């Protein structure tokens, strides 16, 4: 992170910005937005992709591979969190005195050009809630710009470059990246222990979320917080900002659900804000957690003057984000779905939801994400995976880590009755193929590449 330079000075018309890792999920829309603001954009990525093709179609040159000469002539370099100082392009930029900024810094600077910046944070539920907000603002005709950490079917991507006065952004706490943002509405869905390779403990995490809430201007803007989550409520206590509390059933909350009924596993309910009916919602995604997510999205919409009718229309059209209980197909009479859940709380929400759907057996093929998370939350993972009728454990997905802890998914499997450990994804697919029976629900679950095992299963 470059502390000597202000990123605002480098994303002006005529300036040249080079984006390292430009094909990434929030880097490609960043390139598109910067070009739209008159910045001369170039980029590099390790692989050809649809995102790279799209950027080239807009006139943005993208080099495949990381070469030091790619940064020559750049006024600044912007990188993803995965690109470190030893990257050839970053090393060349630093040696040449070219300022290097983080992706989150650039997005934060861009947000300051929008009247409304709706930033959705929380340990989990961010992608779904950001997607719900997107549907609502599209229904309201607000033409928002959007940045989501997953694919949203209505966009056909994880981003949207709009021309309205609102930007909607999923905001991640890892490495405090969301503290570079500039929210006018800050949504905090929940605050739990996670990313313990970066944060010290829950109090350290709460401190970051409090700082995030205090990015909202004192004179205008809102902090939307989940009244059903104690850690979140503690984080924003006396933070000096206008707060809107939502709750599924808390009588004292500013926003709550009333008259909740369920039909075929899907909820219908009224949304009350300050005691008055704001909207009647019929969700097409199940689970108590999605009632909370919908309330959060509705609060954000209310705070920005969106009518309740747009909340009704937007949420009625929302069928889920990519990799959030996403249907993959059928195999041997069993339905195959995929989900991104990678924290015990997310597993709990997913497995308790699907148990209400009437399947004969729930088979959960789970791939833990990172060694540190698996070790820190080991007992919680065991407890939640027992909710499935059968747990199939893929080996831990390393992501950015080395296995210095000597931990394996085999350790989890040994604590879960009837669990099967599979050292490879091919073994996961083969195990599911042997297990599958009519009436089963097969779930591939995790933030890594476990979805490939399910896709291989349903392949014709």
Residue 359: what pLDDT?
Answer: 95
Phi/psi for 282 (5° steps) reads -125, 100
Q: Which residues pair with 243 in a beta bridge?
A: 223
Q: Is the dihedral of CA 210, 215, 217, 223 positive or negative?
A: negative
The yes/no answer on whether domain 114-316 falls in CATH 3.40.1190.10 is yes
| pLDDT value at 3 more than 60 | no
Reference 297, options 109, 148, 114; nearest CA is 148
Residue 152: what pLDDT?
Answer: 84
Q: For residue 20, what are the CA distances in angstroms to 9, 137, 206, 289?
A: 19, 31, 31, 36
What mean pLDDT is predicted for residues 11-18?
A: 95
Residue 264: what pLDDT?
Answer: 81
Whether the CB-CB separation of 437 and 333 falls below 8 Å is answered with: yes
In this structure, what DSSP letter does residue 231 have? Answer: H
User: In the chain, where are the structural domains located?
Assistant: 7-102, 114-316, 326-458
Please tell me the pTM assigned to this model: 0.82
Which class in CATH covers the domain with range 7-102? alpha beta
| pLDDT value at 337 more than 70 | yes
What mean pLDDT is predicted for residues 352-356?
A: 91
Mean pLDDT across the chain: 93
| pLDDT value at 4 more than 60 | no
What mean pLDDT is predicted for residues 271-281?
A: 97
More confident residue, 120 or 460: 120
Alpha helices in 126-224 (DSSP H): 126-139, 202-213
The yes/no answer on whether domain 326-458 falls in CATH 3.90.190.20 is yes
Q: What is the pLDDT of residues 129-144, one digit of tens each?
A: 999 999 999 999 999 9
317 CB contacts (<8 Å, ≥6 apart)? 135, 139, 154, 284
């Amino acid at each position: 992170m470059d502390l000597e330079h202000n990123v605002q000075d480098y994303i002006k018309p005529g300036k040249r910005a080079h984006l390292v890792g430009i094909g990434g999920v929030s880097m490609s829309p960043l390139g598109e937005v910067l070009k739209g603001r008159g910045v001369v954009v170039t980029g590099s990525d390790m692989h050809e992709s649809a995102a790279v093709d799209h950027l080239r179609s807009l006139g943005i040159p993208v080099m495949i591979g990381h070469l030091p000469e790619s940064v020559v002539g750049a006024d600044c370099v912007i990188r993803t969190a995965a690109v470190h100082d030893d990257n050839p392009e970053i090393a060349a930029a630093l040696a040449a005195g070219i300022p290097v900024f983080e992706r989150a810094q650039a997005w934060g600077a861009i947000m300051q050009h929008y009247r409304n910046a709706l930033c959705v944070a929380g340990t989990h539920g961010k992608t779904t809630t950001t997607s719900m907000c997107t549907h609502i603002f599209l229904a309201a005709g607000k033409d928002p710009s959007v940045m989501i950490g997953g694919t949203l079917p209505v966009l056909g991507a994880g981003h949207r470059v709009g021309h309205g006065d609102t930007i909607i952004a999923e905001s991640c706490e890892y490495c405090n990246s969301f503290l570079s943002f500039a929210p006018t509405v800050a949504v905090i869905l929940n605050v739990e222990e996670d990313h313990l390779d970066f944060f010290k403990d829950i109090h350290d995490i709460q401190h970051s979320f409090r700082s995030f809430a205090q990015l909202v201007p004192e004179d205008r803007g809102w902090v939307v917080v989940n009244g059903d989550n104690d850690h979140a409520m503690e984080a924003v206590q006396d933070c000096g900002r206008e707060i809107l509390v939502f709750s599924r059933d808390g009588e004292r909350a500013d926003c709550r659900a009333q008259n909740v009924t369920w039909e075929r596993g899907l909820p219908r309910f009224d949304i009350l804000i300050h005691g008055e009916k704001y909207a009647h919602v019929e969700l097409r995604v199940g689970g108590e957690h999605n009632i909370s997510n919908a309330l959060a999205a509705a609060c954000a919409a209310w705070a920005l003057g969106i009518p309740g009718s747009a909340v009704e229309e937007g949420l009625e059209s929302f069928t889920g984000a990519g990799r959030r209980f996403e249907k993959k197909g059928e195999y041997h009479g069993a339905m195959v779905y995929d989900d991104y859940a990678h924290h015990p709380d997310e597993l709990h929400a997913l497995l308790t939801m699907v148990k209400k759907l009437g399947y004969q057996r729930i088979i959960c093929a789970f791939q833990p994400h990172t060694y540190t998370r698996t070790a820190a939350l080991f007992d919680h993972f065991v407890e939640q995976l027992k909710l499935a009728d059968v747990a199939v454990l893929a080996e831990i997905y390393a992501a950015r880590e080395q296995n210095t802890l000597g931990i394996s998914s085999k350790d989890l499997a040994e604590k879960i009755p009837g669990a099967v450990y599979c050292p490879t994804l091919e073994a996961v697919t083969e195990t599911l193929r042997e297990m599958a029976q009519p009436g089963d629900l097969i779930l591939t679950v995790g933030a890594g590449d476990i979805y490939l095992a399910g896709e291989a299963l349903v392949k014709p």
